[in-house]
């Protein structure tokens, strides 16, 4: 019963009257209300349609009901897990979660360009902190794979990054199915520098050690990369990751490249200031990065494709390029909750 998309198209003009963060707050309030009403999520699940059984797949020892997942940043605090499951997502990456709470950057810090299905954000890891999110995860629903995306606090100096990742890992890892290390947000000063092998290697070693100490050896660990790395640097990073013993890679995060915005909107975007761009125009760049990575990544490591994916054809293309899973964020904002069912049905029809 695919009626969610027309319903969203009807309310979208009203929702987009509000600033993105206000609209986000309203949508989350509705989501929380839906979750608290008995039968609310079951109704939603009926409207959205469950993923076809043959979409299920095993990746890194985990059984994903669908390869379509929600990318990090939308549900940073794991507030709407039952709702995401009802919409048909096979998995959700929560976060980015920082060890200690922090407010993120001053507002406004998120902007949309609806006619290009693009978003600019400089949220800067607004996070309730790992303790609050860990408590919420204790009540997570069954039947949905949850990844925990971890970051460092803004005020932590670069040399303290490993301690931050370890502090967040200790609280979050025992409560999720996989962990993603975010070293690619452009909105925390210096963070992307940590992608370089000389910084990345000790972070991964330190986390693998902690994983062992906590008895979580079988839990997959991923690193999330930016789309803006020169290919020679990207190659060295992929080599270091392949040698590190972690499970795989997620690419990509948002881009700093204003070239993905059309000429007529470029000045407007420049005027908004700093931040990373995501959405439709990122697809080509993210695909080029993914194919560069997949050409070099040993087959034993898993790859999650992210960046500009908004149609079943693009999701199918990412999977046939060699991705094990796909993640979406911006397209959900522009297309609405019916997108998940559309992607699932489109992938099932192609399989
Ligand atoms: C408003 C906003 C906030 C985001 N916050 C995070 C975050 O906290 N951590 C993260 O790893 N990625 C974050 N992202 C990046 C997305 O997870 C994704 O990598 C990026 O948006 C590209 O995918 P898309 O084109 O499907 O949106 C954010 C994206 C947006 C639009």
Tokens of 91: 């998995």
What H or E segment, with its residue span, contains residue 18?
A: none
Among 250, 8, 19, CA closest to 119: 19
Ligand 1 mean position, distance from CA 38 (Å): 31
Q: Which residues contact ligand 1 via a Cβ below 6 A?
A: 71-73, 76, 95-96, 110, 119, 121, 123, 125, 149, 182, 185, 224, 253-254, 278-279, 282, 306-309, 328-331
Cβ-proximal residues to 253 (8 Å cutoff; 6+ apart), any chain: 182, 184, 185, 186, 224, 225, 226, 227, 276, 306, 307
User: Ligand 1 center to residue 50 CA distance, Å?
Assistant: 25
Domain 4-350 class? alpha beta
Nearest-CA residue for ligand 1 atom 4 is 73
Mean pLDDT, each 10-residue run in order, the chain (351 residues): 85 97 97 94 94 98 98 98 98 98 98 98 98 97 96 96 98 98 94 95 98 98 98 97 97 98 97 98 98 97 98 98 98 97 97 84
Contact 99, 151 (CB under 8 A): no
Rounded Cα–Cα distance for residues 209 and 244 (Å): 12
User: In sequence order, which residues have a C-beta less than 8 Å from that of residue 161 and are 6 or more positions away?
Assistant: 152, 194, 199, 203
Inter-residue contact 295 to 245 (CB < 8 Å): no
Residues tagged active-site:
185
Are residues 189 and 158 in contact, defined by beta-carbon separation less than 8 angstroms?
no
Does pTM top 0.85 for this prediction? yes
The answer to whether the CB of 153 falls within 8 A of the CB of 99 is yes
How far is Cα 154 from Cα 11, in angstroms, rounded to an integer? 36
Count CB atoms within 10 A of the CB of residue 202: 13
Are 227 and 292 contacting, i.e. CB atoms less than 8 angstroms apart? no
Q: For residue 300, with 0-12 CB atoms within 10 Å meaning exposed, 13-18 middle and 19 or more buried, which class applies? A: exposed
pLDDT for 87: 97
Q: Smallest Cα–Cα separation from 338: which of 9, 116, 81, 36?
A: 9
Distance 213 CA to ligand 1 centre (A): 31
Q: Which two tokens stand for residue 145?
A: 């794979």
**How many angstroms separate the alpha carbon of residue 70 from the centre of ligand 1?**
10
What is the rounded distance in angstroms from the CA atom of residue 247 to the CA atom of residue 23?
A: 36
pLDDT of residue 98: 98
3-class DSSP assignment, residue 219: coil
Q: Are 285 and 260 spatial neighbours (Cβ–Cβ below 8 Å)?
A: yes
By most ligand atoms within 8 Å of CB, the mutation choice from 76, 121, 224, 254 for ligand 1 is 254
How far is Cα 250 from Cα 37, in angstroms, rounded to an integer? 35
**φ/ψ (deg, to 5) at 226:** -85, 160
SS3 (DSSP) at 78: coil
């Amino acid at each position: 019963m695919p009626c969610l998309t027309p319903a969203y198209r009807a309310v979208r003009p009203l929702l987009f009257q509000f600033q993105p963060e206000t609209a986000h707050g309203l949508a989350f309030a509705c989501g929380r209300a839906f979750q608290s009403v008995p039968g609310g999520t079951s109704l939603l699940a009926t409207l959205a349609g469950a993923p076809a059984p043959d979409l299920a797949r095993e990746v890194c020892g985990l059984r994903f009901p669908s390869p379509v997942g929600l990318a990090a940043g939308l549900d940073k605090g794991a507030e709407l897990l039952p709702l995401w499951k009802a919409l048909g997502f096979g998995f959700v990456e929560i976060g980015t979660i920082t060890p200690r709470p922090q407010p993120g950057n001053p507002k406004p810090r998120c902007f949309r360009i609806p006619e290009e299905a693009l978003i600019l954000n400089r949220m800067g890891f607004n996070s309730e902190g790992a303790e609050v999110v860990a408590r919420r995860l204790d009540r997570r629903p069954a039947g949905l794979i949850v990844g925990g995306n971890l970051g460092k606090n803004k005020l932590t100096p670069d040399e303290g990054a490993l301690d931050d990742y370890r502090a967040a890992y200790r609280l979050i890892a025992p409560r999720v199915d996989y962990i993603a290390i975010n070293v690619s947000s452009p909105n925390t000063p210096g963070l992307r520098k940590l992608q370089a092998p000389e910084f990345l290697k000790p972070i991964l070693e330190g986390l693998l050690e902690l994983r062992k100490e906590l008895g979580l050896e079988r839990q997959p660990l991923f690193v999330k990369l930016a789309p803006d790395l020169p290919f020679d640097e990207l190659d060295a990073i992929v080599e270091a990751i392949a040698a590190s013993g972690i499970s795989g890679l997620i690419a990509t995060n948002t881009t700093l490249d204003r070239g993905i915005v059309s000429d007529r909107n470029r000045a407007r975007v420049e005027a908004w200031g700093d931040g990373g761009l995501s959405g439709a125009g990122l697809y080509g760049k993210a695909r080029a990065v993914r194919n560069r990575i997949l050409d070099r990544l040993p087959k034993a490591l898993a790859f999650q494709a992210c960046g500009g994916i908004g149609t079943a054809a693009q999701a199918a293309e990412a999977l046939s390029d060699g991705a094990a899973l796909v993640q979406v964020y911006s397209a959900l904002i522009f297309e609405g909750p019916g997108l998940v069912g559309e992607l699932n049905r489109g992938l099932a029809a192609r399989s």
